[in-house]
Structure 1
Amino acid sequence: MTDTASTTAPARALIAEDEPILAAALAHALRRLWPALEIVATCANGVEALQQGLALRPDILFLDIKMPGKTGLEAAEELAEQWQDGQDGPDGTPFPQIVFVTAYDDYALAAFEQAAADYVLKPVNDARLGKTVERLQQRLQAAKPAATTKTATTPAPADDNLARLLTQLQAMTPPAPRLQMIRAAVGNSVRMIPMADVVYFEALDKYINVVCRDGEALIRTSLKELLPQLDPQQFWQIHRGTIVNAGAIASAVRDEAGKLSLTLRQHPAHLRVSPLYAHLFRQM
């Protein structure tokens, strides 16, 4: 196999896999199929993958979907948010190529295909991994001219493939009954909040802060559990920790650094938009 990246510095990869035997098998296969590839770290969980990804800034991440601490999807999402808000790093390092390692069935794999995201199946197969290696080499080679001509004032786009994948996988989650009312604790009482009164939801550790025009209240759940119960036409996820009522959005504003934030109707808050969800606010 031709290594198109071998004419310059070798590509660098990080592997995140909680099963040591599978991690070793993937590393061995990569060394055989792509001898010039440098494997800079092997991580046993999603938290370590996020930390090492930010510290080492590799060109490629191989992320197991199901890992302790954080899943591969969660690690990728948080990495995109923290990688200088989706822009190139301070040293000019572009956002890495991501390959998901998965044991999902054919139905779930359709999401990866539709999002044009790279994936390899467990156990690792040389033929399938070889195709992924070829695509990675081509993408890294194609990205070089863009990386050298990009200016500091031009933000790099978020990883649209990752954004589409997250949206597609969320759509595959079995729909839960739509919430008509939020029951939230306020002191010693329970407040009944109509969904139309909610401006946005904000994750706070083990709680969610329900922000309304006339006050706030806490509910004990996670955004991951809440999201399937919300009408996706009315409530948009704009950040790993924020869901906003679309009807409450007044405008989306991009600052000089390229960061996107929302101003709201009848509420003073300004909400930051993760680069993964910036596509929601592109001009029609």
Structure 2
Amino acid sequence: MNTVRALIADDEPHLAQYLKTQLTQLWPELDIVAVVKNGVEAAAQIAALAPDIAFLDIQMPGLSGLEVAQGIEGATRVVFVTAYDEYAVEAFEQAALDYVCKPVKTERLLRTIERVKAALRAAPPEPDGALAATLQRLLQEQQPAPPRLRYVRASQGELMHQIDLAEVLFFHADEKYTVVQTQNAEYLIRTAIIELMPQLDPEQFCQIHRSTLINLAHLAGTRRDEASRLFVRIKNHARELPVSRAYVHLFKAM
């Protein structure tokens, strides 16, 4: 097996260091490429480094481990590190999600390592709608719903505008900024897509790509190209937006 690369995310530095030490002892071939202290950093480093495994603490500032996992593109396998109660652990087992409980015990971590090794030897799985649905359900059951935005303050040149979210066609990441697209104009905000998503009503906005959220009220339809890649069309807007493989399942009925 080629070198396996891993990331650890935990907002408690001593626990992150303990897990790193344990992994180094139990799996010497493992290359730990990053240790981060919150969910936002974890999401950014997973996107940049594409590790084979991400050990994600469930409860982190910025974004929870579940929220980070929900936004992962590619083949990074997630192992949740959790201090949750018995009910949550049962949910992880039913969904066949890898996890270890805090405090991390050597025997349990060894079992997780063997399970992950076996999974990595197998062919990479196709993006699974059931997994995305399970993560969404766990988020709803384990966390109180955050307050939802009704307006967003965004800049256009030197002016700041307050934009009703009903007028937003889509949000799209553009280097350091996120573009807020309405029917008539583009505006800019500094909030990253992954930070913006939990503040939006999931009945109104849908993620279709790591860098794109669309307003479902403005969805006109979908199209597949000759390579079977999926694109969405937005009402009163010429641009088509690509749907990444992780979110194709959301449009199977269309």
Counterpart of 1:105 in structure 2 is 84
Q: Is the 8 A contact 2:170 2:213 kept in 1?
A: yes
Shift of 1:179: 3.2
- Measured against aligned partners, the alpha-carbon deviations of 1:183-211 in whole angstroms (never above 9, x if no partner) come to 43344554443332211112345543221
Q: Is the 8 A contact 2:23 2:30 kept in 1?
A: no
Shift of 1:268: 0.8
Q: Structure 1: how far apart are the matches of 2:93 and 2:252?
A: 24
Shift of 1:229: 3.3
Report % sequence identity: 38
| Rg (Cα) greater in structure | 1
Aligned pair partner of 1:213 in 172, 183, 199: 183
Q: Which runs of 5+ in 1 are unaligned?
A: 1-9, 32-37, 87-94, 148-155
| 126 and 75 in structure 1: CA distance in 2 versus 1, 3 angstrom threshold | same
Counterpart of 1:24 in structure 2 is 21
| 112 and 277 in structure 1: CA distance in 2 versus 1, 3 angstrom threshold | farther
Instruction: Give the letter aligned to residue 236 of structure 1.
Output: C
Aligned pair partner of 2:55 in 56, 63, 74: 63
Shift of 1:261: 1.9
Instruction: Give the letter aligned to residue 248 of structure 2.
Output: A
Q: Structure 2: how far apart are the matches of 1:193 and 1:48?
A: 31
Q: Verify: 1:158 aligned to 2:149, yes or no.
A: no
Q: What is the aligned-residue RMSD (CA, Å)?
A: 3.9
Counterpart of 2:146 in structure 1 is 176
- After superposition, residues 2-151 of structure 1 pair within 5 angstroms as 10=1, 12-17=3-8, 19-30=16-27, 38-45=29-36, 46=42, 53=50, 58=52, 61-65=53-57, 81=73, 86=74, 95=75, 97-100=77-80, 102-106=81-85, 109=89, 112-113=92-93, 115-133=95-113, 135-136=115-116, 139=119, 143=122
Shift of 1:96: 5.1
Q: Verify: 1:242 aligned to 2:233, yes or no.
A: no
Shift of 1:267: 0.7
Greater relative contact order (CA < 8 Å, ≥ 6 in sequence): 1
Q: Structure 2: how far apart are the matches of 1:50 and 1:183?
A: 27
Q: Structure 2: how far apart are the matches of 1:234 and 1:166?
A: 19
| 111 and 214 in structure 1: CA distance in 2 versus 1, 3 angstrom threshold | farther
Q: Is the 8 A contact 1:178 1:229 kept in 2?
A: yes
2:79 is paired with a residue of what secondary structure?
Answer: strand
Shift of 1:170: 4.4
Q: Is the 8 A contact 2:54 2:76 kept in 1?
A: no
Shift of 1:233: 1.2
| 137 and 262 in structure 1: CA distance in 2 versus 1, 3 angstrom threshold | same
Counterpart of 1:229 in structure 2 is 199
Instruction: Give the letter aligned to residue 221 of structure 2.
Output: S
Q: Structure 1: how far apart are the matches of 2:91 and 2:234?
A: 33
Aligned residues: 239
Taking structure 1 as the reference length, what is the TM-score of the superposition? 0.64
Taking structure 2 as the reference length, what is the TM-score of the superposition? 0.70
| 257 and 239 in structure 1: CA distance in 2 versus 1, 3 angstrom threshold | same
Shift of 1:119: 1.3
